[in-house]
A and B are shown apart, each in its own frame.
Chain A
Amino acid sequence: MFKRKLPLVLTFVGGVVMIMWFFIPRSNQPAQIFFTELTTRWMPIIGAFFLLIGLASLLKLHYAKIAHQREGWGYSVITFAGIAFMCIVGFGWGAKGVPLAKAYESVFIPLDSTMFSILAFYMASAAFRAFRARTIVATILLVTAFIVMLGRVSFGTSIWDGLPSFTEWIMTVPNMAQKRGILLGICLGMLATSLKIIFGIERSYLGSKE
């Protein structure tokens, strides 16, 4: 009884207070200041637990891979080595230390950029194989993408001086209209889900039996 009712009451009170707090104009009332400070203090604490849970989960997953020597277990060893290295550098020399900055600049930045840059190769391959004018809708999409891509690069103006302006029109009129429609749809969905959670209609966060 207590295990079910208490989270529902807390969710209701928290949700209603957050809504009221958001829509009441900022006036630096003591109650508003207290509530802002309360949320700004609580969330870093909750965030720290998330970090611990995330790290523990990651280590558990990779430890199991190494222990059972599953396919690609060598990468798990590198993961452990990477975490250990960054911990030693971070705790040993601190945030101000040169080693952490060097590790960030010389290891993390190139690795992260490399992972993302792979996208360019797959996008080019996909554009060649899958971007086909099979239907009218697909053709409109293809032609629009073609114009926007041309309008965004240096030689676009060599073809037609008005191309950048036409590209800007595509972005600010047809693109914006459909984006706004999608955004409104998403927001209405979020609003409905939030209200269902606040009023206890949606209870899946309490556990699978709910």
Chain B
Amino acid sequence: MKFWEMLSKLDRRIIFALVFLAVLLPLVFKMGLPIKGIQPPVKAIYDHIEKLPEGSTVLISITYSPSTMPELYPMTLAVIRHCFRQNIKVVCVSLGITGVGIGEMALQEAAKEYNKQEGVDYVNLGFQTGPVTLGMGQDIHKTYPTDYKGIKVAELPVMKNVKTYKDIGLIVDYTASGTGYIGTAVTMYNANLAVGVTAVGAADLYPYLQTKQIIGLMGGLRSAAEYELLIEKPDKGCIRMDSQSIAHLLILILIVVGNIAYFVTRRKRT
């Protein structure tokens, strides 16, 4: 009984140390835990991009800050890689100022691998204040007169035939929580939208998935790992899944142990 009492008063610093080790060790000693099965909403995004003809355009929207990068960056990179593999042009925008650098990093990383040229195969339009999701439905060139580096958008070959949402095959919005494209791009301009979101934010977006307002959904690191497997390029998502799996296992054990300790000590008190 003393054991359970002691356990129920466990110092939080011990829990912190356990979490630290559960996250760190799988990253150092790679375990390669299997990832079986692909969730249908993830497969739907993959299939949509597969069906897009060569030379079409995908809009990548970065609506997250570095705080959620461990979950969202792998899926951003995976979709950009997929587009480049299919010779699909990528236009990147950021709905938050802190997302500009993330978009640039992902584009540069993928462009190097697939030998893609900036301004011809892809562009980072950067950040713009105001109702950009609305403005892009009317005229992308007016909403973003210059790209992230100050080059006039009208002069970029990649933007030559991209004026509104009608010229975009798919919008993929990466966000830490909700998406701002449903009320504007989807409802007002009938654009195709897919969303990449943190695992905790995914639950909020399932109603839009059922109503087909979004064509696909990537929720959390597992979806990123699944997408990496779909494009046959396992990378950060798959590596980090080991760490996340062990951390989840630890939390599950803590919940079970915490409950046993609670019920044993409560019985003793009564």
Contacts and interface: CB of A to CB of B under 8 A. Distances in A.
* A-B complex is real: yes
Interface of A: 22, 26, 33, 36-37, 39-44, 47-48, 95-96, 101, 104-105, 108-109, 112-113, 115-117, 120-121, 123-125, 127-129, 131-133, 142, 146, 149-150, 152-155, 157-158, 161, 164-165, 168, 171-172, 175-176, 179-180, 183
Contacts of B36: 157, 161, 164
B257 A37 contact: no
Nearest to B97: A51
Given A124-B250, A129-B12, A172-B210, 15 more contacts: A26-B188, A36-B137, A43-B130, A101-B101, A109-B66, A113-B69, A124-B19, A127-B258, A131-B255, A152-B222, A155-B245, A161-B36, A164-B37, A175-B203, A179-B203
9 contacts: A36-B137, A37-B138, A95-B150, A108-B101, A112-B65, A121-B20, A153-B245, A153-B248, A155-B249
Nearest to A51: B129
B141 to A, nearest CB: 12
Given A95-B150, A172-B206, A180-B207, A36 B259 contact: no
B128 interface: yes
B128 to A, nearest CB: 7
Contacts of A116: 67-68
B67 A115 contact: yes
A154 B19 contact: no
B254 A154 contact: no
Interface residues of B, number: 68
Interface in B54-95: 65-70
B130 A47 contact: yes
The 8 closest A-B pairs by CB, nearest first: A43-B130, A154-B33, A116-B67, A47-B129, A153-B245, A112-B66, A40-B135, A109-B66
A-side interface mostly: helix
B179 interface: no
B53 interface: no
Contact of A133 (B104, B254, B259): B259
B187 to A, nearest CB: 9
A12 B254 CA distance: 55
Contacts of B148: 95
B27 interface: no
B156 interface: no
Interface in B217-270: 220, 222, 241-242, 244-245, 247-252, 254-255, 257-259, 262
